[in-house]
Amino acid sequence: WKYIEGAPSPKLKRVCRKQELHAQLYNLLSDPEEQNNILDEYPDIAKRLANLLNQQRTSDRSHRSPIDL
């Protein structure tokens, strides 16, 4: 699975395209080219991945440099 939050990052250096500004979910096993956003078909998986993303952001691990890992 690949979950894309759809919110621009404050550190983003480029202008977002309109299609990037909404949440997206892809099954990378069946759709490795990310052509079919299946978020509406799997809202529970998207919610779980969004929660995991938020947990990582609020945990100490998301603030360490790669060398500290």
Q: What percent of the chain has pLDDT above 90?
A: 51
- The set of residues, in sequence order, having a beta carbon less than 8 Å from that of 49 and lying 6+ positions away, is 1, 3, 25
CA distance 43 to 32: 20
**Which of 2-6, 38-42, 47-51, 57-61 bottoms out in mean pLDDT, i.e. has the lowest?**
57-61
Residue-averaged pLDDT of the chain = 82
Per-residue pLDDT of 9-27, as tens digits, reads 666 666 656 666 789 999 9
DSSP 57: H
